[in-house]
Each structure stands twice: as structure tokens, then as C-alpha cells.
Structure 1
Amino acid sequence: MKSKQLKRIRGELLAKLAEYSVEWDFDSKKLIVDDLKSMQKQLAQHTNLRGLKYENKFQNYLAKPEEIDILKIDPYLEIVKTTKQRQLWAYATTFWSIPVTTGYGRRIRFLVFDSYNDKLIGIFGLSDPVIGLGIRDRYIGWTKEQKLQRLYNCMTAYILGAVPPYNLVLGSKLIALCLMFPEVREAFYYKYKDKVSLISGKNKKAHLIYIDTLGAFGKSAIYTRLMNWKFIDYTKGQSHLHITANGSWELIKQVVPDDIFDSYKFGQGPNWKMRILKIGLRELGFSEDILSIGWQRGYYNCPLANNGQEYLLGKSNKPKWKDFKKSELVEYWKNKWIIPRLEKLENNLDNFNIAIIK
């Protein structure tokens, strides 16, 4: 590509970053972000609001405060399969204040309803995990070969939370507990039991052993002191969302040769996108520091098997499932988090005003 074209694309990329108050310092060769949360909120408005076109169709799926009896909340799950469910999912994501990705590779999305009133409590989505995630890899302690064999048994919760007004009564903590319902790992098993792994080319045992996620900003109040969720460490602060979520991805792809773009794509998930970005940014004269935005996120895991680490290390081929029961998880949520705060939570409903999920 000619230098004039590269200069034009480079200028357009910097202009797009500036739209979100992100600047590239040419002297230090680092990004400057004055207000990270404000930047993420602006990006969210760009990526998440497409679902507003379904507002009239689904606004009745959101509960009114008087339709909620906090002590009678009883969640049930629906897997997103139909067009209607996909549209409801899109509408639900409009309440998120950080950019919502679509997930990578394998993906299962769940709507969570309250059987007391059949209103939507919230959503969660599981997708393929990042291949190269140092925090996770160090914690599990696996070799490259072990990871190649058992990463298939891991999924990442790339979105999780409650919609209004359930977000005002600690509904997001309840959604996080829903990931432990036995039907979630059963849904994973039946969806992928006959699938061949893209990376290894093998038909692997579809046991969902390990779920992880990242807090939106540092540690997350959702997972703090919550049963079976454990904080491990912080990420380094690298991200591609500030570059890919604002339309710059299309610009960067223009400078990556087709043969390289296609060769990296096969079965590589989010790491593939990072590699393509790094190649494109180098072509444009940027260093990889443009990906270091300082967005350190708390890394959490949620093992579903008592022998999860042994299974992921290949030392066991038969999972010993943790004995989670839906009724006990819901009861735990009410006893641990709701009853001690009931008066305050009821006041939250009384003072309800539709707010963006934090």
C-alpha cells in the first residue's frame, strides 16, 4: 500500500480515537485516556444501542417495581435460539454501560426470567475463552499441550448481568449463580457433544469444567464474596475494544494482506483478532502500546467440578461435578444477600428510575 494511503488511514484512525477522548502521544508512544469509564460509556452507546429498535416490542418484558416480590424471585433459563429471543437479547444489552461484544467461536446465550411474574431478570452469555490468557494459564498451571487438549472444556462469561429493575435488588449476583445451574453444563454438553474442535480437529468430550470472566473495571461487586466465584488477579490492561468497537477495525483490515488475514483466521478466536490488529498497527507505524489502554480488569473463575484443575491438566478424564442445585443456589442468594438488606432493596424498588447497568 502506498505511503499516501497509509497516512490517510492513520489519520482516520487517530480521528476515530479522538471521538472517544483517546489520544496517541507521539513522544511517549502511549495512549492518553483522561476518563476510562467515560470512554467506555461512549463506546457502549456506539455498540449497544442497536437493540433500541426493539424497545416497543419488548419493554413489557421488563418488570414494574410493583410486579416484583423480592423474596419470591425464582429464576428460570431460556437458551437464545429463535429470532424473538435474539431480539430480546439485543434489547437487553442496551442497558449495559460498557461495550458488549458478540463473543467468539462457540457461543451459548441465556435469558433469565422470574417465574413469579415471567419478567426478564437478566442475561448471560458464554463464548470460547481467549487462547493466550496468562492469568488463567498460570493459575491452572498447564503446559501448552495440556491447554491444547483441555481449553475446549472452558468457557468465558463475556456478558452477565441483570436488567432494570432487578439490577437494583442484587439481581446480577443471582445471574452469576445461575451459571452453576446443572442445566447450563447440560446445555453445553448436548450442543457440543458431536462437534469437532476447529483447532485440534478432534471430537472432544463436551464437559464444561471451568467458567471465567472479567470484571468491568477492576474488581466487580457482582462476584465479590459470591459462592464459588474466586478473584485471581488483574489483567495487564491491554484491550482492542477501544480500536475495534468504534469502526477502526475496518480501517486496519485494509492494510493487512489478504493471505495473512485469511491464514490467521482459522480457529483462532479473539487471539486472531489481536494478531491481525498488531500486524495492521505496525503497517500504520504504531507500536503495540496503542493496545495498552490501562483498562485493568479483575479476573474471576467459577469451577464446576471438584476435580476441575486435575481434569484441565489431563490427570483425570472423568469430572466429579460440584453438587449445585438450583433451589439451594437461589436460597443462598436470598439468605446471604437479600434478607439482610431487604428494607434497603425494597426502598430501591420504591425509588425506581430506569438506570444503565453499572
Structure 2
Amino acid sequence: MEAIEDIGNLRDQVLEYLKALGFEINLDAPQSLTLFTEEKAYLRQLHEKVRRFALKKHQLRIRRSWSKLSPYFARGDQVVPERIRPVLLEVNEPWQEDLFFLARLTWSLPYSKGYGRRLRFLIMDSGNRSPQGLPFLMGILALQSPPLTFPPRDRLFRYPPGRKVELINQTMDIHTLGAVPPYTALLGGKLIALAAASNEVRLAYRRKYAGRRTELEGRTLPPHLVALTTTSAFGRSSLYSRLRYNREWVAISLGYTEGYGTFHLEELYPLFRKFLEAQGISTRGGYGVGPRIKWQTCVRALERLGLPSSLLRHTLRREAFLFPLIHNLREYMEGLAEEPLYRDFPFEDLVEYWRKRWLLPRVSRTDGWRAWEPERLLESLLVEGDELGEP
């Protein structure tokens, strides 16, 4: 990678790859990339190309995990909607980690472990079980440390001088949320979204992080979790829109992001790392280098290839949402209130609300979910004709 010829080849490879994804490129324009269409069907295809590349390195683990964990994935005819009994389970044990990992790989975006403070949950159906007596997996939820700069959120608050980091670090970002089939067709995603705002998630955060000191600054943060943020995968979100519990909004739309990120460069990322490491530039992540190591690596590689950092603007604008977990969020984030006034959203109450508001009306309108076969999940995870790599 040190030779100038290799730099030129990699530069051409970057441009050809982006064109193959469907981007039009004008390096002289402030916005270097544009998509020829922003229809959701095309955007899903674009994400699928990136996802399938990311699956290559997980093929051995997928096969091993599926052989052990497939009974947790229901066939449609095994699920009796009236018997569904959701259970919120924090991921702590190895089998839970493997089940979460396997389910997460079915998402449209490439797998990510998250960064900083992390919480992961499985939502299981204890009322419907496999022939082996195992509860079926309904969906997954994962939280991570929030971005310190997030314009849709930051426009809402006037942080007190010198306290922004402290206050933002009392929130978390939802980086994975959703149901798995056949529960997707039964609007299980609505339940997972409600669960994110539950008392149980807040209490899990308190148990895990009360008294913990931050790695970078050695500061002990208050054990409060006062809000969550997230963004949709494809433009406007139907999952979070009109999401209420009784008469209270659970998710509040904050508008749209500006369309920056690295997901469209996922396949090139290993080449960028190799290129920079050959020049003596570290690309290692972890504490001390910040949570945006992938972004930083892409920016540095593009600069050294003579390409503008504006190639990181993929133009796919995502809808941003805020989940207030306290009644006095604005006052708290602006330093006008010393203590958070928590909302009271017990998981069991959220389940009953979801059952009446979404599940039962859905069942009365359709039975298409009954034909679901879990083997279709495995088929979506296998990438044929590629080298299999260790996870």
C-alpha cells in the first residue's frame, strides 16, 4: 500500500465501488455523492449489499450458532397470539449473547457491538415454546453510549456551560431495536419500542452503572438514565411514529439527520485500515480514541487518497427520535432541575397495552404470519461462494 501506484488503484477502487452501489459522483461539488433514487425499495437493496458483505466474516459462527439455537426461532404455526407472554431478559450469559448475535445479523444494517456503555436485551415469548420446551425469541434491544454531538437532539436544549458531556452521558442511544419473524408480522416491533422506555431498562442501567467511573475522565456519573435517542434505517419511521403508552408520547420525532455516515464504505473499510497501518497510522479502537474510530479511519484514508471527506455524506437521511424517560427532561438537561422525575412505565403494563392496542387487532385482520418458516432466516444469513472466516 506504500507505493504511489497502489494509492491510485485504491482511489479508483473507491470510486468504482460507490458507482456500483448506485451513487453519482462529482468530486468538484460540495456534496460529492448523490443517489439516483431515494425510493425505499432501492435503499433496502443498497443496505442489503452492504449487509451481505459484512456477513462473510461470520459464516462459521452463524452455522455453529444456528445448529444450537434454531429452536428459539418460531414457525408461524407454532405461535398462538393469545398465548404470547413477553419476558424482558438482559443479556448476561454466553447462550444469550450468541442468540442476540444471530438475531442481530438478520438486520438490514451491518452488525455492530456498539460502544461505550452498553445494555442488551432479549424479549422472549414464554407463552409459546418449541418442542424442546424453549421460549421463542420475539425481538432484541440494544443501547450504547450516545453521540456527544447529535444535532437533532442538541437543538432541543440549552446545556449549562461546562455540563453538556455530563448531561448527555445520562442518556443512551438505541442502536438495535426490533422484532424477528413471525413476531414482526404481529407488530412485535411496537412492543420492543415500548420496552425501551420501560422501568426495567432504567433499573438495569442503574444496576450496571451506579458508582462506575468514566474511562476517559475518571468521573463518577449520576446513575440516572433520563432519555434515549435513535434513528430510523430508511427515512421516515413507521415503527416509532405515533408510538404512545396510554396518552403519553413514548417516541418524539426530532426531524431528520443530514445523511452522513460510513455504512456505504463498509466493504472498503478493511482496505482503508490496511492502507493506513502500512503508513504507520493506527486504526485501533477502544477507550482513549473515542467512539468514532471508523469515521476517523475513513476520513484519514480518503484524505490520503486525495478524495474529499464529503464522500461520507451518503445522503440517506434518517428520522431521529427522542424517548424521554422523565417528565422534566428539558429542565433537567438545562440544569434547572436537580432530580429527574421518572415516568412510570412497568414492562408488564406496556405488554398489556401492546396486546390490546396492536397485537389483537392485527390478528383479527390477517393470518399471513402463520406460513413463516425460520429456515428462511438462515438462508438470509448464508453467503455462498465466499471464503468463510472466523468471527
Same fold (TM over 0.5): yes
Partner of 1:52: 62
Indicate whether 1:167 and 2:187 are aligned: no
Structure 1: runs of 5+ lacking an equivalent: none
Answer yes or no: is the 8 Å Cα contact 2:186–2:362 preserved in 1: no
Rounded to whole Å, the distance in 1 between the matches of 2:331 and 2:54 is: 39
Partner of 1:61: 72
Specify which structure has the bigger relative contact order, considering alpha-carbon pairs within 8 angstroms and separated by 6 or more residues: 2
Aligned partner (choices 239, 255, 259) of residue 261 of structure 2: 239
Answer yes or no: is the 8 Å Cα contact 1:113–1:120 preserved in 2: yes
Answer yes or no: is the 8 Å Cα contact 1:216–1:297 preserved in 2: yes
Deviates most, 50-59 or 318-327: 50-59
Q: Closer, same or farther in 2 for the Cα pair 1:250/1:308, shift >3 Å?
A: farther
Rounded to whole Å, the distance in 2 between the matches of 1:262 and 1:156 is: 23
Answer yes or no: is the 8 Å Cα contact 2:200–2:346 preserved in 1: no
Answer yes or no: is the 8 Å Cα contact 1:75–1:115 preserved in 2: yes
Partner of 2:125: 114
Partner of 1:30: 32
SS state of the match for residue 319, structure 1?
A: coil
Q: Closer, same or farther in 2 for the Cα pair 1:128/1:264, shift >3 Å?
A: closer
Answer yes or no: is the 8 Å Cα contact 2:83–2:127 preserved in 1: yes
Partner of 1:4: 5
Q: Deviations over 1:163-195 (max 9, x none)?
A: 111011000111111112212111111111132
Partner of 1:76: 87
Question: What amino acid maps onto 2:369 in structure 1?
Answer: L
Partner of 2:365: 344
Partner of 1:138: 155
Residue identity (%): 28
Deviation of 1:293 (Å): 0.9
Deviation of 1:196 (Å): 1.2
Q: Deviations over 1:268-296 (max 9, x none)?
A: 213x4323422321121111220111110
Deviation of 1:14 (Å): 3.4
Partner of 2:322: 301
SS state of the match for residue 235, structure 2?
A: coil
SS state of the match for residue 254, structure 1?
A: helix
Q: How many residues align?
A: 354
Partner of 2:310: 289
Rounded to whole Å, the distance in 2 between the matches of 1:252 and 1:20 is: 21
Structure 2: runs of 5+ lacking an equivalent: 37-41, 129-134, 245-249, 381-391
Considering fraction of residues, name the structure with more helix: 1
Deviation of 1:74 (Å): 2.1
Partner of 2:354: 333
Rounded to whole Å, the distance in 2 between the matches of 1:32 and 1:52 is: 35
Aligned ranges for residues 192-231 of structure 1 at < 5 Å? 192-227=209-244, 228-231=250-253
